[in-house]
Structure 1
Amino acid sequence: MLWWLFLFFWLQSSTLIFAADPLGDNFTTAFRPRLQSMLWLLLGFALMLWLFMVLTGWSESNLQLTGYLYSKAPAWLRPTGGSLVYSNILGHVLLDIAVFFLPGILLPLIAAKVLYAEPQRALRILVNWKYWLTLFVIAHIGLWLPAVVLEWRFGNTARMQAISLGVRLFLALICGTAAWMMTAGLLGYLLRGSDTGGEARTA
């Protein structure tokens, strides 16, 4: 188990480091294990996972809050479907925050620690509309597209269904991997400060 965790965080941190300076000569250096970078990535992912679970928990159990809001709302703001409409809206909002905005906010901060970049660069990313637009496209590739692929089925026999499952899982994995690579490239490009001529320290 520990070996797999080490391998996972080594690959992810090395991918971020290489994305900050994607030259062939830097490949070996980028994929040299860096325990400090791996630790920052571990802590960042743990925080992200915890906040994700909190937000998704709120999205699934908000009936008491939405019931209170419904009872206090003026008549013209009360939908005919009752407080359940409020609950569904709030649930979707919290889920969008957990799936898109939470990673979008934390990933630049995590990547800055992994790359030993200045924190100000991560903060500048968060107010960059191009970052959010690009991340929105990447999120569709990494989340929406795999969901569509997994729903796709072909064949009626048990053998074809098994082949279908294998193909769908493989394509979903490709989409997820491509999305992460694009995210790493986006973060590396923005954090290395190409617009100012600076470089994130990767050594």
Structure 2
Amino acid sequence: MTSSASAERTTGTSTPFDHDANSDPAGLLAGKPAMAYLSFPSLKDPRATRHTAEIIAGLPAEEFAAWRDTRWQRRGEDYEAFKRQLAAGHIARVERDRPGFADLIEHVEVSTPLTVDGFAGYASGSFADLAGTPDRLRHKMFPTAVMPGLYLAGADTMCLGIAGAMMGGVFAAGEVLGPFGVPRIMASSVPAAARPRVADRMPVGASA
């Protein structure tokens, strides 16, 4: 979705917050989502003169089962109509909290679980990472090599979200570096001027 709009922050649009009600897909399927997550990724680029907006909401992959065996851009008019309904509902939801948003839109694209599954290969179209269930988090997750020279990285090897994805990469790189790999990476991220000197860590009376 592109527009000439700008924004100061990422915002959720829902008042009051009721997790169960907001997670119910019935309203979203009817084109009336209870909430939406609004973000403007292009604001990270200070040179941008036009901006992209993302509106995100969760929807069970089962709702797209009828088109599971179809191909991208060849899923049929009923699928395209469904996407247009979802888009209209999301835009209207944001418009309620951010009047004028809809007038700034020049182009709209809709991604569904089928889109994510087709391009990224994530089962059931989960665009973030594996389900954060107690069973998954109970197991040891570490980027150890499952075959010579292959290391795992990303949120699926650590914990959920952006921070989990970042630390998954850090631990994978640490494994490649060998013993004390992660401490070496963490130490290198600290400016030299802020690192403690060897003398500062030595016991009183000792000499270097």
TM-score (norm 2): 0.27
Higher strand share: 2
TM-score (norm 1): 0.28
Higher helix share: 1
